[in-house]
Structure 1
Amino acid sequence: MPSVVSRRWRPRSLLQLVLLAFLMVMLPLAVLMFQAGQALSELSRLADVSARQAVEETRRARTLGALALKMERAARQYAVVEDESLLEIYDQRLSEFRSLLAIQRQLLPDDPNVAALGEQLDELAELPDLPLEAFEERLAAFLPFAEKTEAMQAATNQRIDQRLEDIRQRAEDVQTRLWWQTAALVSASLILMLLFTRLIIRPIRQLERHILGIGSGGQQQVRGAVQGPAELVRLDDRLDWLSSRLNELEEQKQQFLRHMSHELKTPLASVREGSSLLTDGVAGELTQHQREILELIDASGGELQQLIEQLLDYNLLQHNRRLELEDRDLATVVKEVLAKHRLALQNKGMQVECFDGPLKWRIDPTATSRILDNLISNAIAYGEDGGQLEVRARTTASCLTLEVANSGESISEEDAQHLFEAFYQGRIRRKGALKGSGVGLSVAADCARLQEGTLELVDDRLSVCFRLTLPEGAGMEDNNVSRVSPEGAARS
């Protein structure tokens, strides 16, 4: 059944969420660009107006200075040549000066020089009506008039400079305001980015945890429904369906293995019991040839039983069997495993060298015995007839190292890369009528990982050597360990 979807608003699709995120993140940046454009446009307009006014005011101030000079020149020429046309020129320049001064007074309404120029201009306007002697005496008035005109020009320039300073200060204020707006709006964009990133990433992480839960094969924890775009919600529903189907298939596999083990082991036990009875002579004396055939049947039945147990062990380890740590003597564990293979070792004619004990370490006895059983079984199956089998052990402060080495044909580099993969069978074939299942080393590696250890193929003076490394559990109880080299090891 599809999971229940929250009634809170969510985007209908991932595309809609991405587009919405893009628009929302771009909105503060668009506002910032608009405000920056408005501010720059205002400053540009103000600078343009101020520049035009400065040019006009500067030109007008210079014109006033030139008119004052022309008025003085015309008056002095008239005093020399007494030509009436010079007075007309004087009156014309005075009229122009008066009109420009009126405009300049609007720029500098409180400037005393402008007011003084107005008063002096009224006095100079009386010159054409005065007698020549009085006219000449009044010519001295042009000197203060020129000084006031120059002072008025300086005041105009100062006024223009003050306006430019105001524009500069205005530009700095606008710049400061834009910086603050940039910081605020970019922060808003970042917050929106984080928000929408969370809206996108959160359901993806929920799906990732769901997938990891399915892949781990463990008990699924109770979790909430995925909140996000419709595509991800549908994907979560499909994962729920897939999880239920996998659980059903796993249950079917478990049931099949249980039935298979029962269906195979029951008749196999009957076959082995029957062959044992025949070997014991219950049905009469057997010839040597018949006894050899029964021994072959019994040996093959034992190998078949071992293969079935390996398959069941592999299935058990895939379901996270818990550790049961105990302080055990490794030498005793190894000798118990070797005892199980005594007859096979005798038939193979292999010479066994094993380390001496006691060597106590905190291990899972079942898992460690299973590792040793698989390694020794492989050494017997693949080792050379009459060869060597060595079991070595050494310890450090933090780990235990066990090595199982045998003489015989070496493992190729290509096979070595896949040795611990389930159901992989290399180039070297198992000796005997019954072939291997390819799960023995996989089971052994899983048992090592279960104890947080490692199992690896290493180089050795013998052809094949597997090294098991187990970390310190509760520590060793007895450090009085006798380490024996292969050359001086005791015979098993």
Structure 2
Amino acid sequence: MVSAIPEQGPARPRGIARLYPRKVMHWVAIGICLVVLPLLIAVASATLFMRELALDSQTTVLEGTESIRLSRTLNDLLLGMERNARVYQVIGDTKLLTNYKDLQAQFDSVAAELLEGEENLESARQISQLRATAVELFSVFTNEPPNSSLAVNSLQRFNTMRDLTRSLVDRNSQAIEDRVKGIHAYARRGQSILLWEALMVVPVAAGLGLVIMYRVSKPMRDLDRSIRRLGAGDIDEPIKVGGPQDIQALGYRLEWLRQRLGELANQKRIFLQHISHELKTPLASIREGTNLLQGQVVGVLNEQQLEVVGILESSSVQLQRRIEDLLAFSISDEPRSELMLDSMVLKPLIQEVIYRHELPMRAKNLQLKMEVRNTRIAADSEKLDAIIDNLVSNAVKFSPDNGVIRISESVQNGRLQLDVIDAGPGIHPSEAEKIFQPFYQSSTPYSGHLKGTGLGLAIARLYARMHRGDLNVIECKAGAHMQLTLPLAIERENGVQPTCTRESA
């Protein structure tokens, strides 16, 4: 019975912790806000500064231009007034006095306008003085007859008025220049402030971004590490994942999966142990019976019968070894043992394995084509026997009647290469790696009496890799092509030195 996925999740936060971000999307949103906020502040500060600078510049230009224009207008009107006054004193034409009056009215109006916007006290005093002088001169020219001594002497006051208007023009020009310099200084100061803001905003934004990335990426790394542990078969250590609520929820589901895998592994071990134990009882009877027959206790056997009994005896011993391998596999999923490496020739071992499968080969009338030389290797004879027995057993099992099994040996790149090829239905490329997984049942059709457990090739590849070799499926147009590679024996001057090493999967 498969247990349901638990609905348990992270405990509900209480108090102020309820305001704490609980999901990855919340952290991402907060991270974006925290990173963008300093940038927005810097942009707003720069915008306000540029706006203030633009307004100040515009005001300076407009006011300065207007002041200079009005000052120069005063100077032009003053020249017109002086010209009419001097000519009037010479010819006494009252029309000139009327023109003077009009110019004087314009002069007073412009002076009043200039005085209204003037902030400099000295300039305001001079403008007031110009207005008063203009009124006094008009009064003198109106009340005194032309060319009188008072009127002629009053003409000298135009020189003073010209000096005052020139002074106004110069002072207004200098005021504009001073304000432009102030604007330049303000711009430089603002530029410096913006530069410092940029230098501060970038590290702050980067720091906030790194904090958010760490807060989100750390639980993701823990989650990835836990998944890798499960994939590697490490289901002993409990899975604990912190961080946002949704990642914690994934951690809880992974913990449930780990517990479920542990339950399934225990069930598998118990099942294999029971099966292996149950197999030993009938096997003991078979071996006892074959021993009685081989000893001719129940009667005399002819030569062919004795050969069959010998094959049965050898097969029962081999079956006992396979049951022991199955027991070892049920304990640790991958049998670990010592490799007793001895210098040996592969050909006699292959011939012994073929002898054990002679009966099923006779039953299917299989033909064997073997091209094996006396190449010497360093290997554990029992485990190498198990590898070859599994390859030959599969080749016999899946070969059709009257089929051919080819076994060839070669040396490639300093390694021994053993190829076992049958004429059966072959192995689909999509299953080339799956068939080496424990308990995997191939989709290849099989019409025999007993179906395999799916452990043979898994154990065979494991033993091959314990020898620092490998076992693989080679693509073949017809039939299955299994290739075993093993390192050659290390030859010394006085022969091959047998070695004993401890290997584990």
Range of TM-score over shorter length: 0.7 to 0.9
2:350/2:388 contact within 8 Å kept: yes
What is the RMSD computed on CA atoms of the aligned residues? 4.9
Q: Distance in 2 between matches of 1:335 and 1:289?
A: 22
Q: Which residue of 1 is the match for residue 172 of structure 2?
A: 156
Q: Which residue of 1 is the match for residue 357 of structure 2?
A: 344
Instruction: Within 5 Å, give how 1:236-247 maps onto structure 2.
Output: 236-247=251-262
Q: Distance in 1 between matches of 2:157 and 2:380?
A: 123
Q: Distance in 1 between matches of 2:173 and 2:487?
A: 91
* Cα displacement (A) at 1:60: 1.8
Give yes or no for the alignment of 1:389 onto 2:403.
no
Q: What are structure 2's unaligned runs of at least 5 residues?
A: 1-5, 496-505
Q: Which residue of 2 is the match for residue 429 of structure 1?
A: 446
Instruction: Within 5 Å, give how 1:124-139 maps onto structure 2.
Output: 128=141, 132=147
- Map Cα deviations across residues 79-138 of structure 1 (whole Å, 9 max, x no partner): 344224345446545645765675687448489xx9799699959955736961755687
* Cα displacement (A) at 1:262: 0.9
Give yes or no for the alignment of 1:357 onto 2:375.
yes
Match of 1:444 among 442, 455, 460: 460
* Cα displacement (A) at 1:158: 4.2
Secondary structure of residue in 2 paired with 1:341: helix
Q: Distance in 1 between matches of 2:494 and 2:170?
A: 108
1:117/1:149 contact within 8 Å kept: no
Identity %: 26
Amino acid at match of 2:297: V
Q: Distance in 2 between matches of 1:201 and 1:238?
A: 19
Match of 1:46 among 42, 49, 56: 56
Q: What are structure 1's unaligned runs of at least 5 residues?
A: 482-492
Secondary structure of residue in 2 paired with 1:171: helix
Instruction: Within 5 Å, give how 1:76-475 maps onto structure 2.
Output: 76-82=86-92, 83=94, 84-89=97-102, 91-92=104-105, 95-96=108-109, 99=112, 106-107=119-120, 109=122, 128=141, 132=147, 149=165, 152-218=168-234, 220=236, 225-278=240-293, 280-284=295-299, 308=323, 311-312=326-327, 315=330, 318-319=333-334, 321-322=335-336, 324=338, 328-329=342-343, 331-332=344-345, 335-336=348-349, 338-345=351-358, 347=362, 350-360=368-378, 368-382=384-398, 387-396=405-414, 400-406=415-421, 408-409=423-424, 411=426, 413-414=428-429, 417=432, 419-422=435-438, 423-427=440-444, 429=446, 433-449=449-465, 453-458=469-474, 465-469=481-485
1:276/1:298 contact within 8 Å kept: yes
1:214/1:220 contact within 8 Å kept: no
1:268/1:305 contact within 8 Å kept: yes
- Map Cα deviations across residues 63-91 of structure 1 (whole Å, 9 max, x no partner): 22332232223223423442243454465
Q: Which residue of 2 is the match for residue 13 of structure 1?
A: 22
Secondary structure of residue in 2 paired with 1:436: coil
Query: Residues 299 and 214 from structure 1, CA distance in 2 versus in 1: closer, same or farther, beyond 3 angstroms?
Result: same
Q: TM-score, normalised by structure 2?
A: 0.72
Q: Which residue of 1 is the match for residue 3 of structure 2?
A: none
Q: Distance in 1 between matches of 2:394 and 2:88?
A: 138
Moved more, 437-446 or 284-293: 284-293
* Cα displacement (A) at 1:141: 7.2
Q: Distance in 1 between matches of 2:421 and 2:311?
A: 25
Q: Which residue of 1 is the match for residue 85 of structure 2?
A: 75
* Cα displacement (A) at 1:426: 4.6
Query: Residues 105 and 413 from structure 1, CA distance in 2 versus in 1: closer, same or farther, beyond 3 angstroms?
Result: closer
Secondary structure of residue in 2 paired with 1:393: strand
* Cα displacement (A) at 1:264: 1.2
1:424/1:439 contact within 8 Å kept: no
Q: Which residue of 2 is the match for residue 59 of structure 1?
A: 69
